[in-house]
Amino acid sequence: MTLTRFVTKSAFRNRRRSILTVLSITFSLLLLTLMMTVWRGFYIDKGSVESARRLITRHRVSLTQSMPIYYREKIRTVPGVVAVVPTQWFGGLYMDDKPEHFFAQFGTDPNEIFNVMTDFKIPPDQLADWQRDQAGAVVDSELAKKFGWKIGDRVVIKGTIFPVNPELTIRGIFVAPQPSITMYFNWKYVEEAVSFAKGTAGTFGILADSAEDVPKVAAGVDAMFRNAPQPTKTESEKAFQLGFINSIGNVKAFILSICFAVLFATLLVSANTMAMSIRERTREVAVLKTLGFTRQSVLRLYVGEAVMVALIGGVAGCLLATLLVEVLKQAPRMGFFFLGMKVTSLTSLLAISVAAIVGLLSAVVPAYHAAKLDIVEGLRYIG
Amino acid sequence: MAIPISYNIRNLKLRKGLTIMTALGIALTVTTAVFLMALLAGLQRAFVASGDPLNVLVMRKGSTAELSGGFDASLFPTLKTLPGIAKDNNGDPIASGEWVVVAVLPRRDGTGDVNVTVRGLMPEGLTLRPKAKLVQGRWFTTGQREVVVGKSIHDRFSGVNVGDSMDFAKGRWNVVGVFDSGGTAYDSEIWGDFNQIAADFDRTGGMGSAYLRATDPATAEALKNRVSDDQRLKLEGTLETDYYQKQTSSGGPIKYIGFLVAIIMAVGSSFAAMNTMYAAVAYRAREIATLRVIGFSRPSILTSFVLEALLLSLLGAAVGIVLMLPFNGMSTGVGNNVTFSETVFSLHMTIGVVVMAVIFAIGMGLLGGFAPAYHAARQEILAALRG
């Protein structure tokens, strides 16, 4: 019998206990993987190569202040700028004000939006249809799926910021690398109905020559409007999105504290099990030693056992987390929170390594005691 | 006959290490749950307490938030003449035209910029918010570039002490006072003169919203309907309490993610508790058989072991709640999806939260304790005695 086989056998000699321990570790690791995935989605994921080339310009004071539309042509003259498109948050209601019916609507310029959002894929004929129809709209495939919309469907949105209720026809469905619940429509529609909306833009989306040009473009745009009545703030698309996440509260501390609580709880559970199972086998350890097993091999035996149980829990936890993220993406109440998030292989690998380390740590003390055990004492031990 | 509870307590004491480790595991889960519930309770309090049942908020028809409103200022005199509005000492109706705008401030700890709500209000706006009390300095003067800041703003941002000046919109504003509205959403606002704010944010000639103070709650309801039904105005009235009740939904993501985290952790901890209880049962197999021989029935053994699991989880709950106590009252911010700015609220461990935590722990104890207890009660006496 090899050492590995011996470890496997002893890990599952008390099947119920091992299964319960595995399950407990599974759920802890599920949570840990989930939190790491959220963390990655928020802070590490840089988005697509194209996304790294994009910037967003807004009014320096706040997002809710508009800028004059003539800024667009001025921004175009900044070196490194390839394309500029105005977008305006419409903030209308679809059907009613229930959160599950919420989606983002932006008024924009159909002729240039896809030149900035170069990684959004839309069939050319659909794009042409939209550009021809001023009352047309294009929607993200995720949003189309959510409401079961098809091309040609009519959608009425009730304005809240702007007193107009656009009646739009869906002319195209686009696919973005980061799916979202977003609709774009022609801003002219609102401009013609609402006088104060005329000639304004909430933000400008900019496509830079290359990712390296982004800081230069940002500085260039802001310098141009520094002394204008409406000064601007330009930042990379990622930084702009992070601003929104930060507004949910101190998310970093929130995720970290949950991760630590989970880790510590897992360590406790695993250490508990190992202590129980090794104490139970005190006499057996003595027998192993009389048979000639060295301290090292006894140590290895028990540590190996703990690591194995923890690893099984870790792998199961990662698999469950992958499944759960998929389910959460579809959950109506979660909205757009989990969209675009994915348990990557790196995250899984990290989670499984954490599980292995927890197993290792949990076994060290009890296994060390077992290895040090005096043979005669051990043989006398009655559980 | 029931087995005395002291039997369980002694057993837990005997296996100290195991008891402490399991209880700590449960405690961590309870702590997490208490943290999340206290967060939600604090949020709820901040929003619900903000509304005054006597105040009617008037916005343009169709608009759902003060920030997205905007109507012609010429409608305001008509609004003021509506019956049901309370009068101040001079006999003038208590009504305030207001603008709510957003400005960007740097966080005190240097972790970036945050959107905060700036409210421009008329002097009557202070009269109709009796909850807001000045704690430092004085109120702003009409016609001056002066602001008073809410307590949460004062605590969380730098450069907002009385005597400091702030830079937003078109220039400098002098901070002349700090007010406290008792932990409500107003504490996360900056208040200044209506006309000054309107001018700085290019909004002269209009107003974002208007507040009318009714003489009593029943009149408030009638006043609200009168505003909404008046065809000349094209405005809509909402009770301030209803308006804030709706904003509680800003905590939505925290709520659902919190539930998810608490449930996953609880399931994991239940399995751990189950493990401990199974070990306790296995360890005492002969003892249980002896109890049966003496005459204790199966149900009483079942009850005894379930009780032991409950004791274990209650110990965990107690430790968990105590662990959270130092954090009670700690404040944090949440992005308000109605005002697009941060509303500060504090962790609020209400009695309800503590009760919920105990119930949560009992649930874990039952989940983890029942199967092992059942197993103990079903043991074959003879086999167990032979060991």
Question: Would you kindly state where each structural domain of chain B is located, as residue ranges?
Answer: 5-48+250-386, 55-213
A31 touches chain B (CB under 8 A): yes
Q: Are A310 and A355 in contact (CB under 8 A)?
A: yes
A75 and A209 co-located in one domain = yes
In a domain, A146, yes or no: yes
A223 and A154 co-located in one domain = yes
Chain A residues inside the 8 Å CB shell of B101 = 62, 64-65
Which residue among A16, A63, A328 places its CB closest to the CB of B340?
A63
CA-nearest of A274, A213, A198, A232 to A71 is A232
A166 touches chain B (CB under 8 A): no
In a domain, A238, yes or no: no
Q: How many residues would you count in chain B?
A: 387
A7 and A86 co-located in one domain = no
A63 touches chain B (CB under 8 A): yes
Q: Are A86 and A75 in contact (CB under 8 A)?
A: no
Regions in chain B scoring below 70 on pLDDT: 1, 68-69, 106-113, 248-254, 332-344, 387
A99 and A155 co-located in one domain = yes
CB contact under 8 A, B271 and A97: no
Encode chain A (383 residues) as per-residue pLDDT tens digits.
577 888 888 888 888 888 988 998 999 899 999 888 888 887 777 667 788 899 999 887 777 778 899 999 999 999 999 999 999 989 888 988 777 788 889 999 999 999 999 989 999 999 999 999 999 999 999 889 889 999 999 999 998 888 899 999 999 999 988 778 899 999 999 999 988 888 889 899 999 999 889 999 999 998 898 777 778 889 888 888 777 666 556 667 778 888 888 888 888 888 888 888 888 788 888 888 898 888 888 888 888 888 999 999 999 999 999 999 888 877 665 555 676 678 888 999 999 999 999 899 988 888 888 888 888 888 887 65
A163 touches chain B (CB under 8 A): yes
Residues ≥6 apart with Cβ < 8 Å to B275: A17, A20, A21, A24, A269, A272, A273, A276
Other Cβ atoms closer than 10 A to B163 = 9
Phi, psi (degrees; rounded to nearest 5) at B166: -115, 150
Domain that holds residue A110: 61-230
Q: State the smallest CA–CA distance between residue A261 and chain B in angstroms.
A: 6
pLDDT at A46: 64
CB contact under 8 A, B62 and A160: yes
Which residue among B21, B62, B333 places its CB closest to the CB of A163?
B62
CA triple A353-A356-A358, angle to 5 deg: 110
Q: Are A214 and A55 in contact (CB under 8 A)?
A: yes
First to last CA, chain B: 25
Nearest residue of A to residue B273 by CA position?
A269
pLDDT at B153: 86
Chain A residues inside the 8 Å CB shell of B24 = 268
d(CA B92, CA B85): 9
Chain B residues inside the 8 Å CB shell of A328 = 260
CB contact under 8 A, B268 and A64: no
Q: State the smallest CA–CA distance between residue B264 and chain A in angstroms.
A: 6
A361 touches chain B (CB under 8 A): no
Determine the 3-state secondary structure of B236 from DSSP: strand
A76 and A221 co-located in one domain = yes
pTM: 0.74
A 84-103 → B contacts, CB under 8 A:
91, 93, 97, 99
CA-nearest of B152, B263, B330, B183 to A254 is B330
Q: State the smallest CA–CA distance between residue B241 and chain A in angstroms.
A: 18
ipTM of this predicted complex?
Answer: 0.72
CA-nearest of B120, B95, B51 to B227 is B95
Which residue among A21, A64, A258 places its CB closest to the CB of B67?
A64
Determine the 3-state secondary structure of A253 from DSSP: helix
A183 and A217 co-located in one domain = yes
CB contact under 8 A, A61 and B169: yes
Q: Are B274 and A273 in contact (CB under 8 A)?
A: no
CB contact under 8 A, B265 and A31: yes
Q: In total, how many domains does chain A have?
A: 2
Which residue among B18, B22, B268 places its CB closest to the CB of A27?
B268
CA-nearest of B328, B301, B344 to B155 is B344
Q: How many residues would you count in chain A?
A: 383
pLDDT at A84: 95
CB contact under 8 A, B342 and A247: yes
Residue B288 corresponds to which tokens in the numbers above? 């249980």
CB contact under 8 A, A17 and B279: yes
pLDDT at A98: 75
- What are the Cα distances from residue A368, in Å, to A98, A279, A379, B40? 59, 12, 18, 45
A305 and A175 co-located in one domain = no
Chain B residues inside the 8 Å CB shell of A94 = none
CB contact under 8 A, B340 and A62: yes
Which residue among B31, B61, B283 places its CB closest to the CB of A261?
B31
A 205-244 → B contacts, CB under 8 A:
243-244
A80 and A205 co-located in one domain = yes
Phi, psi (degrees; rounded to nearest 5) at A274: -65, -40
Other Cβ atoms closer than 10 A to B45 = 18
Alpha carbon dihedral B7, B12, B14, B16, in 10-degree steps, equals -170
CB contact under 8 A, A262 and B265: yes
Residue A361 corresponds to which tokens in the numbers above? 């740590």
A 237-296 → B contacts, CB under 8 A:
243-244, 246-250, 257-258, 261-262, 264-266, 268-269, 271-273, 275-276
Q: State the smallest CA–CA distance between residue B123 and chain A in angstroms.
A: 25
CB contact under 8 A, A249 and B264: no
In a domain, A306, yes or no: yes
The conformation of residue A14, written as its DSSP 8-state character, comes to: S
A138 and A279 co-located in one domain = no
d(CA B275, CA B372): 8
A136 and A216 co-located in one domain = yes
CB contact under 8 A, B335 and A249: yes
CA-nearest of B94, B118, B90, B258 to B191 is B118
CB contact under 8 A, B253 and A275: no
Q: State the smallest CA–CA distance between residue A275 and chain B in angstroms.
A: 9
A21 touches chain B (CB under 8 A): yes
Chain A residues inside the 8 Å CB shell of B168 = 61
A83 and A179 co-located in one domain = yes
CB contact under 8 A, A97 and B68: no
A42 and A65 co-located in one domain = no
d(CA B312, CA A181): 47
pLDDT at B264: 87
Which residue among B68, B111, B168 places its CB closest to the CB of A161?
B68
pLDDT at A295: 85
Q: Are A305 and A363 in contact (CB under 8 A)?
A: yes
Q: State the smallest CA–CA distance between residue A122 and chain B in angstroms.
A: 30
CB contact under 8 A, A28 and B265: yes
Chain A residues inside the 8 Å CB shell of B332 = 249-250
Question: Helices (DSSP H) in chain A: which residue ranges?
Answer: 3-11, 15-39, 71-76, 113-116, 124-132, 141-147, 187-193, 214-224, 237-246, 251-280, 282-290, 295-330, 345-372, 375-380
A28 touches chain B (CB under 8 A): yes
Residue position matching structure tokens 């309090």? B45
Nearest residue of A to residue B116 by CA position?
A62
Nearest residue of B to residue A102 by CA position?
B337
Other Cβ atoms closer than 10 A to B89 = 6
d(CA B354, CA A219): 52
Nearest residue of A to residue B285 by CA position?
A383
Which residue among B25, B104, B279 places its CB closest to the CB of A276?
B279
Which residue among B64, B104, B332 places its CB closest to the CB of A160?
B64
